[in-house]
């Protein structure tokens, strides 16, 4: 019998909906039985949320995370004891930013030690709260890439059969043409192809590449990025026997991809991908970070401060994020070189 993957879940900003959507997602018995789960957060937040939404589980609370003895029968939990205050639901708060950072930090330590976890699902954080706490990151992706020295991370959006990978992410629109280079586009194609092989078991994926300019620049009429960078990158990938088409105007490509004509799409910038994706799949989209030495997924929405603490959160995207993480981790080779890393004992475990 194939061993279940071991998936860590960080509970995100305590003032947001992270704990609620995690509990609601794991209420699904089929999903709960698909992997061994380790929640990383605060017991006080967990108990408060359980009472609020009327969902309760039996937990195996770890007192010493230096040695992870995880159980399949119960949901495993690491209590970091950061929340000793009344949770300010729906508000930016540096105490909550600190707590969210500590959850991610602990997950990194566990992922680096003894290969105890095969993947990570991250509930939403408030970048503003985390920055107020002194942790200056643009988000999970930057933090995780830095911790694991991963130079070629890429963001992938997944919903149903649509998969979109970005060449550039959170940069001003005016700076986008400057980062659309032959190397950047080629690296994205290669990483996408590798991920489709490794994580999704699609051996000969069909990849489509978006143009940057309208109508793929009309032979240079609307810009030169296609001719100078995107087309040479596609040619380089084809030399490696990768099935890739493009550049294709974005106004038609996403419809074709949704209809199943491609296994993955390469988009040039954030909104080129996010506008069609979130229009179609706002409530169930999943964000995947490619290029890390482990699986990482997240629901493709934020902390939802407007409904936090009200018991109204929809867990659909978190359920999909967990399902995708389990699928990807199950497909990955399990053997990795072990590293000896000191992992501290969890504080205030209960």
CATH code of residue 157:
3.40.718.10
Whether residues 347 and 222 share a domain: the answer is no
pLDDT of residue 1: 55
pLDDT of residue 64: 67
pLDDT of residue 66: 66
User: Of 240, 262, 291, at which residue does a domain stop?
Assistant: 291
Count how many residues are written for the chain.
350
* Prediction pTM value: 0.88
pLDDT of residue 32: 93
Task: In whole angstroms, give the CA distance from residue 162 to residue 274.
Answer: 12
pLDDT mean for each 10 residues of the chain (350 residues): 87 96 95 95 93 90 75 89 92 96 93 81 96 90 90 91 93 93 96 93 95 82 87 96 95 92 96 93 91 93 94 95 95 58 38
Task: In whole angstroms, give the CA distance from residue 84 to residue 91.
Answer: 17
Whether residues 103 and 181 share a domain: the answer is no
Say how many domains are in the chain: 2
Domain limits for position 160: 152-291
Whether residues 13 and 121 share a domain: the answer is yes
User: Of 291, 315, 332, at which residue does a domain stop?
Assistant: 291
Of the candidates 68, 61, 63, which has an alpha carbon nearest to the alpha carbon of residue 114?
68
Whether residues 118 and 139 share a domain: the answer is yes
Whether residues 241 and 282 share a domain: the answer is yes
Whether residues 281 and 309 share a domain: the answer is no
Of the candidates 280, 272, 293, which has an alpha carbon nearest to the alpha carbon of residue 336?
293
Q: Who contacts 173 (Cβ-Cβ below 8 Å, separation ≥6)?
A: 269, 271
User: Of 265, 291, 317, at which residue does a domain stop?
Assistant: 291
Whether residues 1 and 145 share a domain: the answer is yes
Task: In whole angstroms, give the CA distance from residue 10 to residue 223.
Answer: 43
* Residue pointed to by tokens 């149903």: 160
pLDDT of residue 283: 83
146 CB-side CA count, 13 A: 11
Whether residues 64 and 112 share a domain: the answer is yes
Whether residues 157 and 246 share a domain: the answer is yes
pLDDT of residue 335: 55
Q: Identify the burial level of 264 via C-beta atoms within 10 angstroms of its C-beta, where 0-12 means exposed, 13-18 middle and 19 or more buried.
A: buried
Whether residues 126 and 3 share a domain: the answer is yes
Whether residues 315 and 262 share a domain: the answer is no
pLDDT of residue 72: 84
Whether residues 191 and 68 share a domain: the answer is no
């Amino acid at each position: 019998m194939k061993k279940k993957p071991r998936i860590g879940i960080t509970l995100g900003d305590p003032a947001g909906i992270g704990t609620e959507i995690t509990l609601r997602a794991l209420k699904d018995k089929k999903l709960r039985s698909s992997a061994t789960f380790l929640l990383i957060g605060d017991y006080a937040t967990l108990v408060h949320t359980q009472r609020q939404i009327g969902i309760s589980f039996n937990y195996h609370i770890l007192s010493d995370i230096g040695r992870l003895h995880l159980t399949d029968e119960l949901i495993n939990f690491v209590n970091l004891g950061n929340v000793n205050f009344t949770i300010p639901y729906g508000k930016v708060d540096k105490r909550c930013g600190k707590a969210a950072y500590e959850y991610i930090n602990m997950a990194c330590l566990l992922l680096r030690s003894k290969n105890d976890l095969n993947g990570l699902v991250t509930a939403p954080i408030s970048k503003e709260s985390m920055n107020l706490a002194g942790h200056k990151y643009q988000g999970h992706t930057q933090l995780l890439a830095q911790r694991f020295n991963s130079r070629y991370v890429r963001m992938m959006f997944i919903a149903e059969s649509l998969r979109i990978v970005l060449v550039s992410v959170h940069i001003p629109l005016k700076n986008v043409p400057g980062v659309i280079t032959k190397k950047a586009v080629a690296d994205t194609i290669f990483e996408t192809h590798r991920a489709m092989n490794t994580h999704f078991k699609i051996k000969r994926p069909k990849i489509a590449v978006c143009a940057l300019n309208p109508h793929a620049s009309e032979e240079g009429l609307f810009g030169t990025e296609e001719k100078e960078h995107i087309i040479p990158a596609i040619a380089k990938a084809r030399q490696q026997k990768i099935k890739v088409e493009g550049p294709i105007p974005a106004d038609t490509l996403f419809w074709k991809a949704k209809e199943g004509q491609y296994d993955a799409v390469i988009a040039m910038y954030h909104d080129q991908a996010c506008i069609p994706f979130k229009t179609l799949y706002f409530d169930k989209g999943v964000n995947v970070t490619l290029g890390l030495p482990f699986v990482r997924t997240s629901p493709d929405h934020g902390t939802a401060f407007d409904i936090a603490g009200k018991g109204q959160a929809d867990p659909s995207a978190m359920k999909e994020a967990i399902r995708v993480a389990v699928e990807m981790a199950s497909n990955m080779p399990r053997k990795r070189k072990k590293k000896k890393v000191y992992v501290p004992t969890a504080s205030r475990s209960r």
